[in-house]
């Protein structure tokens, strides 16, 4: 029982961290609270659905995030960059408008009904883990979460572009004065962040059914993760995503009446205790 | 002069239902007026404090639930239940405001979102007391505040009632925000640190505005609960808060009547564009983006700009004539 709870918490936590890290990165560089992030997650899942019909799910997992990355770069060039001098509130409201537009576009292309993606045959089996049958696909999702976090960490820590990203998130002006093209760094990061939202969408698709409104829950949970972790902090987001996954998973078993409310109570408590989140202002 | 303007608007509100022939249009207008009051609640928080709330549906819905429970379980009369609800809402929101308004800008929005969803999910889960997902039917007595309850169900008379409530609310808020209190809150909004340096207490005024905005939204919730005779968790969902925010942005917050205009605009887009295409939400999203980017003061700001320009042109003509004469 305990094993299953921890395991399920980790699966959900992995999805959340993939999605929320994109949100945190976009906030870290652009100072934009992206309300359309849930809609981008949903769009990623639908693009993945179409790709899995024509090719297969492996291509979907690879190509859908790539397509979303391009959409992200476009988003940065068309929306975030022209509006960077505006106050953060108006940009937030613009992304709120984008959310409505994207949801309706998806409805127009894919219809209102719910769709589903088959679990790939290679991962359709279950294996015995801690004495419980465990679907391989869920295990793979955890792997994906860990893998993408390690990749992002390595990218930020060891590559030259990663260095630019870290520099630009600390002080964009000084970074630009050192000769770094911060606009390109920003576009890249928004692209990567959007790709991560798409990746989470495709990865979640075989476990849930696809519906145009599926982005809302993930958006709200990702916000909780990002706010608890400290806006713009990846490390904080990682810790709070794992925490939130466990809280939800254990909450449904031990406090069924409260489980849905627990993440929000946690967020309220942490915001009042530390208004800038667990990680403070560090990136 | 100021009072004359209000009397004029009062006459407009009383006459309008007589002029509107279609029943659909009338119920559309009444519904948008109730939501207009809700949007006004969201708007004054944005206008006086620069804070965006994503959780005001909580106040909108809670007031309906509270009135229903007070009448059902404590067997209070309708009027006392409504007054008690609004007073309690003011106190709770004031205390909450003392805590949440310390959180700056964007995190405030997230916090209100979290509080709103907590309330929504709690109401959804509470099957015995609050009726879970089905909500509650409210048994209104035959008269409320001395008015026959049928007046509240009929769109045309309900329109006049809501119109009067709205005018009184705007009048009182206008008086308040033109006073010293209004200047203090604007000062805090523009630069909290400087306001503190010149010796202002910054938390208290913010909490008061928060409480006011909650009460105005709660008032709209009560009107909605009377009009529909029904309250469900759907009214607490964050998308409802989002809708109120969209109305506020569409209308603009520089003028108090901006959110009202925004709500009417919203319902008309929903009704008439919704008839033309299923994808009216996308249209609405595009309009929101357009307004935020090109007209930050919303439709009301655009209208006032037009009027100012026309007045200026008129003045120019007069000046030119005088120049010719001399």
Query: DSSP letter at B231?
Result: E
User: CB of A75 within 8 A of CB of A195?
Assistant: no
* Residue A201: CA count within 13 A, CB half-sphere: 37
Is A94–B50 a contact, with Cβ atoms under 8 angstroms apart? no
**What are the C-alpha distances in Å from A164 to residues A155, A200, B96?**
11, 25, 42
Q: What are phi and psi of B210, to 5 degrees?
A: -60, -45
A269 touches chain B (CB under 8 A): no
**What are the C-alpha distances in Å from A70 to residues A56, A74, A88, B214, B255?**
21, 6, 24, 42, 41
Closest residue in B to A213 (Cα) is B239
Which residues in B lie closer than 8 A to residue A89 (C-beta atoms)? 50, 52, 105-106
Which residue, A57, A101, A107, is CA-closest to A210? A107
**What are the C-alpha distances in Å from A23 to residues A28, A268, B200?**
9, 20, 37
Domains of chain A: 2-273 (1.10.3470)
Query: DSSP letter at B210?
Result: H
* Residue A90: CA count within 13 A, CB half-sphere: 20
CB contact residues (below 8 A), chain A span 208-227, against chain B? 216, 220, 223-224, 227
**What are the C-alpha distances in Å from A189 to residues A71, A149, A152, B297?**
12, 15, 11, 32
How many angstroms separate the first and last alpha carbons of chain B? 34
Is B289–A94 a contact, with Cβ atoms under 8 angstroms apart? yes
B308: tokens are 């100012």
A107 touches chain B (CB under 8 A): yes
CB contact residues (below 8 A), chain B span 57-86, against chain A? none
Is A220–B99 a contact, with Cβ atoms under 8 angstroms apart? no
For the entire predicted model, the pTM comes to 0.83
Q: A170 CA to chain B: closest CA distance, Å?
A: 19
A209: tokens are 């059914």
Q: Is the dihedral of CA A211, A215, A218, A220 positive or negative?
A: negative
Is A90–B115 a contact, with Cβ atoms under 8 angstroms apart? no
326 residues of chain B, pLDDT tens digit each: 567 888 888 888 788 877 877 878 888 888 899 999 999 999 999 888 888 888 899 999 999 999 888 888 887 888 888 999 999 999 999 998 888 877 777 778 878 888 888 888 888 887 777 777 788 888 787 777 877 777 788 888 888 889 999 999 999 999 999 999 888 888 888 888 898 898 888 888 899 999 999 999 999 999 999 888 888 888 888 888 888 988 888 888 888 888 999 999 888 888 888 777 777 888 888 888 888 888 888 888 888 888 888 888 888 887 787 777 76
B118 touches chain A (CB under 8 A): yes
User: CB of B59 within 8 A of CB of B217?
Assistant: yes
Quote the ipTM score: 0.80
């Amino acid at each position: 029982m305990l094993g299953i709870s921890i395991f399920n918490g980790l699966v959900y936590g992995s999805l959340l961290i993939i999605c929320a890290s994109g949100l945190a990165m976009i906030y870290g560089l652009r100072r934009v609270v992206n309300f359309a992030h849930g809609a981008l997650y949903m769009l990623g899942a639908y693009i993945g659905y179409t790709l899995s019909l024509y090719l297969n799910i492996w291509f979907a997992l690879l190509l859908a995030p790539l397509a979303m990355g391009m959409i992200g770069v476009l988003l940065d060039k068309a929306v975030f960059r022209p509006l960077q001098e505006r106050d953060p509130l108006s940009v937030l409201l613009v992304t709120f408008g984008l959310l409505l537009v994207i949801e309706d576009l998806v409805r127009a292309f894919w219809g209102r009904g719910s769709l589903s993606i088959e679990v790939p045959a290679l991962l359709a089996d279950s294996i015995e883990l801690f004495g419980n049958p465990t679907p391989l696909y869920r295990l793979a999702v955890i792997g994906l979460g860990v893998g993408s976090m390690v990749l992002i960490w390595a990218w930020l820590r060891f590559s030259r572009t990663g260095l630019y990203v870290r520099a630009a998130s600390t002080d964009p002006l000084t970074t630009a004065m050192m000769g770094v093209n911060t606009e390109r760094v920003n576009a890249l990061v928004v692209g990567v962040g959007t790709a991560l939202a798409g990746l989470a969408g495709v990865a979640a698709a075989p476990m849930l059914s696809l519906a145009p409104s599926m982005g809302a829950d993930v958006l709200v949970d990702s916000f909780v993760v990002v706010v608890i972790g400290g806006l713009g902090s990846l490390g904080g987001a990682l810790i709070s995503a794992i925490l939130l996954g466990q809280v939800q998973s254990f909450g449904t078993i031990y406090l069924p009446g409260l489980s849905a409310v627990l993440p929000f109570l946690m967020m309220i408590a942490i915001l009042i205790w530390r208004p800038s989140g667990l990680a403070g202002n560090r990136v | 002069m100021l009072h004359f303007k209000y009397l004029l608007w009062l006459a407009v509100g009383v006459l309008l239902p007589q002029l509107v022939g279609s029943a659909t249009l009338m119920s559309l207008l009444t519904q948008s007026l109730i939501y207009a009051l809700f949007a006004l609640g969201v708007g004054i928080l944005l206008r006086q404090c620069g804070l965006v709330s994503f959780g005001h549906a909580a106040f909108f819905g809670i007031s309906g639930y509270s009135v229903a429970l007070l009448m059902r379980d404590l067997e209070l009369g309708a009027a006392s239940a409504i007054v008690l609800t609004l007073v309690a809402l003011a106190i709770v929101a004031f205390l909450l405001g003392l805590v949440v308004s310390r959180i700056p800008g964007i995190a405030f929005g997230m916090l209100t979102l979290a509080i709103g969803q907590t309330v929504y999910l709690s109401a959804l889960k509470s099957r015995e007391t609050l009726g879970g997902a089905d909500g509650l039917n409210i048994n209104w007595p035959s008269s409320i505040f001395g008015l026959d309850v049928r007046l509240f169900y009929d769109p045309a008379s309900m329109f006049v009632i809501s119109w009067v409530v709205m005018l009184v609310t705007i009048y009182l808020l206008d008086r308040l925000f033109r006073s010293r209190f209004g200047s203090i809150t604007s000062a805090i909004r523009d630069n909290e640190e400087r306001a503190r340096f010149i010796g202002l207490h910054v938390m208290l005024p913010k909490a008061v505005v928060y409480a006011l905005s909650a009460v105005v939204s709660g008032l709209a919730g009560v009107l909605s609960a009377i009009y529909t005779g029904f309250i469900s968790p759907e009214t607490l969902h964050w998308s409802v808060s989002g809708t109120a925010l969209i109305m506020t942005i569409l209308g603009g917050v520089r003028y108090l009547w901006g959110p009202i205009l925004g709500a009417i605009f919203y319902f008309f887009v929903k009704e008439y564009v919704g008839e033309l295409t299923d994808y009216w939400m996308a249209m609405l999203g595009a309009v929101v983006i357009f307004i935020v980017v090109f007209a930050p003061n919303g439709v009301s700001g655009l209208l006032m700009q037009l009027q100012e320009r026309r007045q200026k042109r008129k003045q120019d003509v007069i000046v030119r004539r005088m120049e010719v004469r001399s």
